[in-house]
Amino acid sequence: MRGKTNEALDQAGRVQVAYKHLELTATAAPVAHDPLTEAAPFTIRTTEMESSQRREEGTPIFDSLDIDLVVKVLANTAFSPFFLFFVPTFYVFQGAKFSDNLVVASAIYWAIITTFWSFKWFSRLYRNQGSLVLRPPPLDWSEQIVVVTGGASGIGELLANTLAVRNVTVVVLDINPIVTENYNVTYYKCDVSKWEEVEAVSKKILEEIGEPTILVNNAGVVQGKLILDLSPEDIQQTFAVNTLSHFWVLKAFLPSLLKRKSGHIVTVSSAMGLTGAAQIADYSASKAAVIRLHESLRYELDKKYKCPQIRTTLVCPGHVLTPMFRTVKFSSSALFRFFCPSIQPVAVVKRIIAALDDQYSEDIFLPFYTNFIPYVGHLPSFLRDFVQWISGADYAMESFVKISGRRPDESPLSEDLRKQ
C-alpha cells in the first residue's frame, strides 16, 4: 500500500511540475523572435525557471542530508529494539559470558529502548482502541469521499491529485479552481471562511457526490505584517480562513460522520501555532486556536458523541516550500539547514496519507525539530530568547510578500512574483 502511495505521489508530482511550467509559459511576457536581442533574457528566464523547479522539487541527495535523515537512520539502528536485540546475542555467540560488562550493558540498553517504544505503542493503541495482536482492516479507498479545503495549491493540491491518482473520489473547496486532469476530482468554488457558502456547497456535495468520509481542513492564509500594520480586513481574513473555516466545515459535514460512526478528520495547523514570532502574530494565534479545536473535537467525539472510531489527526509542519511562504527568508548556513530544514509538500502529504491508511488518530510534527517547540516555552527566559535568536524566526518575515489569498482590495502582485 505504501508503495502505491509513493508511486501516486511521484505521478502527481510530475503532473504538478508540468502544470507549473504551463502556468509560467502562459503568464510570461511575449518573447521576440530576434535571437540577438532576446537570447540573453531567455537564458535568464530559463535558468530562473530551472532554479525555481529545483527549489520546489528538491535535489535527490543534498537536500535530504539533514537531522531528519539522521533520526530515520538511528531509529532503525541504534534506537531499534529489533536491531539492538542482536547486539548482546552477538557477544554471547562470540564466546562472551552473560555476566560480562558488554553483554550486560547492551542488554540493559536494549531493555530501555524496548520499554520506550512499548510505551509509545501502547499509547497509540489506547488512543485508538486498538488490539494488541490485530491491525484494523485495510482502508477501502474506493469507498472514500475526501473533502479537501484549500485544495487549489500547495499541500492541498498535491494531496488531492495524489489521492485522485489512486482512484479516490476527491472534492476540492477553494476560491480558485484546482489544476488537474483527474476525472475523479470535483471542484466547488467556495470561500470556506463564510458559513453561508460552506452550507450551500455542502448540500450540493451531499446530493451530487455523497456523504464525505474524510475531511481535510487545509485552507490557510498569512499576512506577514506587524500587529499595528494589520488592517481589520487582514485580521478578519486570517481568522476566517485559518480558524473559522474549520468550524464551518465541521458543522457542515460532521453529522454525516457521526451517522456512520466512522471517518477521519485531518486538521492542518502549523508549528507557528505552538510558539510565537514577530510579524506573524495573527497567523500564530489562528493556528494555535486550531490546535485547541482539534483537542476539543477529540474529546467531544469520545465523551459526548460516543464515536471514538472517528479518527482525528493534527498536522503541525514547519516551513513548507509552498507558494504561501515562498518569500520567507531563513538563514542559508549549512548548519541551520541541517537542524532546521524546510520541507517539500510531498513530505507532508506522505504522512497524511499514511495516517489515513493506518486509520489511527495521531499528531504529526515535521520536520524533527518541531517536536521540541512545545517545550521551548518552559526554558529559562535567557535560553528561550537564545533559541528564538538561533531560529531567526523574528526576522524571517522582514521581506515577506503575500502571494496567495490576496483580496481585491489589496494591491496587485508584481509581475516578477507572479512568474515565480
Element of type H or E holding 81: helix 81-93
In DSSP terms, 266 is beta-bridged to 216, 313
Choice among 187, 283, 360, 375 that is catalytic: 283
- Residue 81 in contact with residue 117, Cβ under 8 Å? yes
Asked if 283 is an active-site residue, the reply is yes
Count CB atoms within 10 A of the CB of residue 166.
Answer: 21
Residue 193's alpha-carbon distances to 149, 243, 249, in angstroms, are 10, 8, 9
Instruction: Compute the distance between CA of residue 85 and CA of residue 106 in angstroms, rounded to an integer.
Output: 9
Q: How many secondary structure helices (H) and strands (E) does the chain include?
A: 15, 7
Q: Which three cell numbers stand for residue 15?
A: 503532473
Identity of the residue numbered 210: G
Q: Strand order of the sheet with strand 169-174?
A: 185-189, 169-174, 145-149, 214-217, 263-268, 310-317, 362-366
Instruction: Compute the distance between CA of residue 252 and CA of residue 1 in angstroms, rounded to an integer.
Output: 31
Which residues are designated catalytic? 283
